[in-house]
A = this chain, B = another copy of it.
């Protein structure tokens, strides 16, 4: 039935008790579940029951200071995903980690460890952390410039790839009789000297089952898109319209090609917030209930910060001010701001309405409807050059995830667009990507097979 070959890819973006900022106020919610490993283990089992490709955790090394608004604090993702690895077998485990506030040796090692522990299911969502408060937790007084963060990120990934490749796959011998455990000649110390990093020695973890973890990126600035085109195996992105998603999709695939990569090896997954009901009315009622539970006195200052205006300039029952600061003056979160402003202008939303629309997905595409309506939207984007799959952002957890798994996934399976069983062992297998050869021993890659093969 599909015009496309293969399966679409579905990632479960887990966030506390749901992506909607007011989800914790629902009668069903445990307001402390966001730091409860049992909650996440329950979610992981639901997602694996639905044959989803992967789980994903966002992250930043900073406490947001609006403690009243919603559950605050997040368990560190590489650690939390290790606890989820212990109760699952197939689903991929994607952790966000910052290149600005980590060291390559430590982080590459932690991802290699997670990949070993999970049997090849680790993924890294590479972020540069555009947040002044985070900078102030790491000896800095100001946020490093956007360009500088991306420059460091590129070096960070280059070094990490060298570290993951620093063991030959057959460096370990285990020859008991000869008393020779491994072959030092098959170790390739990076001896890396760059602008941001010097890393001399080999990693102290053997080459990971996947060669290296799946690399994920979500930047949408020019630097971000170029970085994704160069390094990413998968790209998370946010769009409000099919047309915008198509433009982004075509642009990123073109950029990947210009880096000598096969565009099919860069999987693009827009975010979608599915507000599900057995009927459309039921879905709309849930959406409305969540909207009522938002407290605008918390949400308005954050919107003002995103727009770089004073909170006084925003009036709840009016549209956004006609004049807003220039995009170019802003470091970080560039495209999210454009997306939010465009949404408000296009639909002529009041500030209150805009806050309601952002409450569920912070700018991601929100659809309230029946399982068939959600599935139709997914298929429409997938079949029309806008997506290789979706980043599923349930507004309420666990109920929104189990609703998606139990009611939307079967429709996609019936239409022949989604797997009915896991057919591989690793996260790369789930995404249909080959295990990268070790660059220290591989023959030079021919054009088009691209980065990391």
Chain A residues in contact with chain B, CB under 8 A?
A: 22, 24-27, 29, 31-32, 35-37, 60-76, 78-80, 82-83, 85-87, 101-103, 105-106, 109-110, 113-114, 116-117, 133, 136-141, 166-167, 171-172, 174, 176, 179-184, 187, 197-206, 293, 295
Which B residue's beta carbon lies closest to that of A136?
Answer: B200
> Across chains A and B, which 7 residue pairs bring their CB atoms closest together, nearest first?
A31-B174, A86-B86, A67-B182, A136-B200, A63-B204, A82-B82, A76-B113
Query: Contact partner of A139 among B32, B82, B197, B202, CB < 8 A?
Result: B197
- Pick 19 A–B contacts, CB within 8 A, sort by A: A24-B174, A35-B206, A37-B117, A62-B204, A67-B181, A69-B181, A72-B206, A73-B203, A75-B116, A76-B110, A76-B205, A79-B110, A80-B113, A83-B85, A103-B138, A136-B199, A136-B200, A141-B198, A179-B293
Query: Contact partner of A68 among B106, B182, B200, CB < 8 A?
Result: B182
A61–B60 Cα distance when bound, in Å, is: 23
Binding site secondary structure of chain A: loop
B139 touches A179 (CB 8 A): no
Which B residue's beta carbon lies closest to that of A59?
Answer: B204
A201 touches B133 (CB 8 A): yes
Which residues on B sit within 8 Å (CB–CB) of A103? 101-102, 138-139
Given contacts A181-B31, A204-B74, contact A106 B117 (CB under 8 A): no
Given contacts A32-B172, A79-B113, contact A24 B105 (CB under 8 A): no
Which residues on B sit within 8 Å (CB–CB) of A82? 79-80, 82-83
B85 touches A187 (CB 8 A): no
A117–B137 Cα distance when bound, in Å, is: 24
State the Cβ distance, A144 to closest chain B Cβ, in Å.
15
Which residues on B sit within 8 Å (CB–CB) of A37? 116-117
State the Cβ distance, A155 to closest chain B Cβ, in Å.
11
Which B residue's beta carbon lies closest to that of A60?
Answer: B204
Which B residue's beta carbon lies closest to that of A65?
Answer: B184
State the Cβ distance, A235 to closest chain B Cβ, in Å.
26
B184 touches A114 (CB 8 A): no
Given contacts A67-B182, A75-B113, A184-B67, contact A106 B61 (CB under 8 A): yes
A140–B101 Cα distance when bound, in Å, is: 17
B31 touches A137 (CB 8 A): no
A26–B198 Cα distance when bound, in Å, is: 39
B68 touches A183 (CB 8 A): yes
Q: A62-B204, A72-B181, A72-B204 are in contact. List 10 more A-B contacts (CB 8 A).
A: A22-B179, A25-B176, A61-B105, A63-B166, A63-B201, A64-B204, A68-B181, A74-B204, A76-B106, A83-B85
